């Protein structure tokens, strides 16, 4: 199933694509141990949109995200981030592309324990030899509500606060795309809602592009679009999802109706 852009961008000016997979196959292993994780997946992720990826365990969600982010190679087909063809890039160029254009948010936060919240947030920029733009840094900090926690270390922060640090870290570099794999998987529903609101606001207000893997229909309802994977293929999608329409689609796919 091939999906194309069906919505205008936030500014209403055209529909530029932030990331794209074109007839992507991903096959792990060989012989009897062979696993086809993605089967000819084609998808365009429009800039300034919030896209959720859903599907049963093992359906290929993380694999698709890793391939789109240039973290994993594809077996066949190709991937673009912005105008740049990721497939076939040399390691060094790929590392630079990921550093400059891709942000990540993980289920386990992945903060460095010896650094303060502020140092964690600016670390990727420091590594890239870039200085954070002061006004932008302040905007991000105020949006995630971390102003009074900047000097704290991760162990001194709640799970929700730690994930907001991870969100700020991804956003402060203004990447082309932020990929989030189950960002609310380790959070209670209130902290999860805060993180999801923050992600949605960064799309609405700053035009950030976000792709999020989730199992939770409520989390998916914060997105502009939901893509459903099953057994390595895209089998359905929804625009303007609600928790109910997401749940209905999941049930329908489950029963094969
Ligand atoms: N490195 C690997 N080597 C071999 N098989 C793999 C590897 N990574 C993933 N797979 C297989 O590819 C398929 C898709 O895995 P993937 O991690 O993308 O699923 P997922 O949809 O993210 O699942 P979950 O919801 O459990 O995180 C699974 O069958 C998995 O076992
Ligand atoms: Mg996964």
Q: What is the share, in percent, of the chain residues with pLDDT greater than 70? A: 93
The average confidence (pLDDT) of the chain is: 91
Please give the model's pTM, rounded to 2 decimal places. 0.90
Mean per-residue pLDDT, 230-255 = 96
pLDDT at 97 over 70: yes
Q: What is the mean pLDDT of residues 38-44?
A: 97
Distance 54 CA to ligand 2 centre (A): 10
Q: Which residues surround ligand 2, an ion (CB under 5 A)?
A: 62
Q: What percent of the chain has pLDDT over 90?
A: 77
Ligand 1 within 6 A of CB of 60: yes
Strand-pairing partners, residue 177, are 102
Question: What is residue 17's predicted lDDT score, i.e. its pLDDT?
Answer: 94
Nearest CA residue ID for atom 17, ligand 1: 62
φ, ψ dihedrals at 44, nearest 5°: -115, 130
Six-digit token pair at 254? 């489950």
Q: Is the CB of 29 under 6 A from ligand 1?
A: yes
Residue 35 in contact with ligand 1 by CB distance below 6 A? yes
Nearest to 176 by CA among 10, 48, 42: 48
Between these two residues, 7 and 39, which has the higher pLDDT value? 39
| pLDDT at residue 228, rounded to an integer | 98
Task: Tell whether the model's pLDDT for residue 161 goes beyond 90.
Answer: yes
**Residue 233, pLDDT above cutoff 60:** yes
Please tell me if the CB atom of residue 114 comes closer than 6 angstroms to any atom of ligand 1.
no
Task: Give me ligand 1 centre to Cα 114, in Å.
Answer: 31
Domain ranges of the chain: 22-255
Model pLDDT, residue 132: 83
In this prediction, residues 39-67 reach a mean pLDDT of 96
CB-CB contact of 123 with 115 (8 Å): yes
Longest CA–CA span in the chain (Å) reads: 55
Distance between Cα 39 and ligand 2 center (Å) = 16
Q: CA-to-CA distance for 212 and 150, rounded, in angstroms?
A: 26
Mutate to test the pocket of ligand 1, among 24, 29, 57, 63 (most ligand atoms within 8 A of CB): 63
Looking at residues 230-257, what average pLDDT do you find?
A: 93
Q: Which residues contact 231 (CB under 8 A, 6 or more apart)?
A: 39, 59, 60
Ligand nearest to the CA of 26: 1
**Residues 208, 45: Cα–Cα separation, whole Å:** 12
- Indicate the pLDDT class of residue 127, thresholds 50, 70 and 90: confident
Is the shortest distance between the CB of 63 and ligand 1 below 6 Å? yes
Q: Which of 173, 39, 31 has its CA nearest to residue 100? A: 173
* Local confidence band at 130 (pLDDT 50, 70, 90 cut-offs): confident
pLDDT at residue number 84:
93
Give the C-alpha separation, 72 to 26, whole Å.
9
Q: At what angle do helices 117-127 and 159-172 cross, to 10 degrees?
A: 30
Task: Write the residue with the smallest CA distance to atom 7 of ligand 1.
Answer: 28
Q: Which tens digit of pLDDT belongs to each residue from 1-38?
A: 545 433 333 333 345 899 999 999 999 999 999 999 99
Ligand 1 site, residue 28, Cβ cutoff 6 A: yes
Q: How far apart are CA 121 and CA 173, in angstroms?
A: 9
Protein residue closest via CA to atom 30 of ligand 1: 58
| Total residue count of the chain as it appears in this document | 257
Contact yes or no for 201/27 (Cβ under 8 A): no
Q: How confident is the model at residue 257 (pLDDT cuts 50, 70, 90)?
A: low
Q: Confirm if 179 and 98 have CB atoms less than 8 A apart.
A: no
Residues 6+ apart with CB under 8 A from 40: 23, 24, 25, 77, 233
State how far the Cα of 88 lies from the Cα of 178, in Å rounded to an integer: 22
Q: How far apart are CA 178 and CA 110, in angstroms?
A: 15
Q: Is any atom of ligand 1 closer than 6 Å to the C-beta of 75? A: no
Q: How far is CA 116 from CA 56, 113, 153, 187, 224, in A?
A: 36, 8, 4, 21, 33
Query: Domain 22-255 - what CATH class?
Result: alpha beta
- Mean pLDDT value of segment 88-111: 92
Distance between Cα 137 and ligand 2 center (Å): 30
């Amino acid at each position: 199933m091939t999906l194309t852009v069906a919505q205008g961008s936030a500014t209403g000016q055209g529909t530029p694509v932030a990331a794209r997979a074109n007839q992507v196959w991903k096959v792990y292993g060989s012989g009897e141990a062979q696993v086809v994780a993605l089967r000819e997946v084609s998808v365009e992720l429009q800039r300034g949109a919030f896209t959720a990826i859903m599907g049963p365990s093992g359906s290929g969600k993380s694999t698709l995200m890793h391939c789109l982010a240039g973290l994993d190679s594809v077996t066949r087909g190709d991937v673009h981030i912005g105008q740049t063809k990721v497939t076939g890039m040399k390691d060094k160029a790929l590392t630079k592309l990921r550093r400059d254009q891709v942000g990540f948010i993980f289920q386990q936060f992945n903060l460095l324990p010896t650094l303060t919240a502020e140092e964690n947030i600016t670390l990727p920029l420091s590594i890239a030899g870039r200085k954070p733009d002061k006004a932008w840094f302040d905007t991000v900090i105020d949006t995630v509500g971390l102003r009074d926690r900047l000097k704290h270390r991760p162990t001194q922060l709640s799970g929700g606060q730690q994930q907001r640090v991870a969100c700020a870290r991804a956003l402060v570099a203004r990447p082309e795309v932020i990929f989030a794999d189950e960002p609310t998987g380790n959070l209670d529903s209130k902290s999860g809602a805060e993180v999801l609101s923050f992600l949605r606001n960064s799309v609405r207000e700053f035009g950030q592009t976000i792709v999020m893997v989730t199992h939770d229909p409520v989390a998916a309802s914060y997105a502009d679009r939901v893509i459903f994977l099953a057994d390595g293929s895209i089998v359905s999608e929804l625009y303007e999802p609600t928790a109910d329409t997401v749940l209905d689609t999941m049930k329908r796919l489950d029963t094969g109706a």
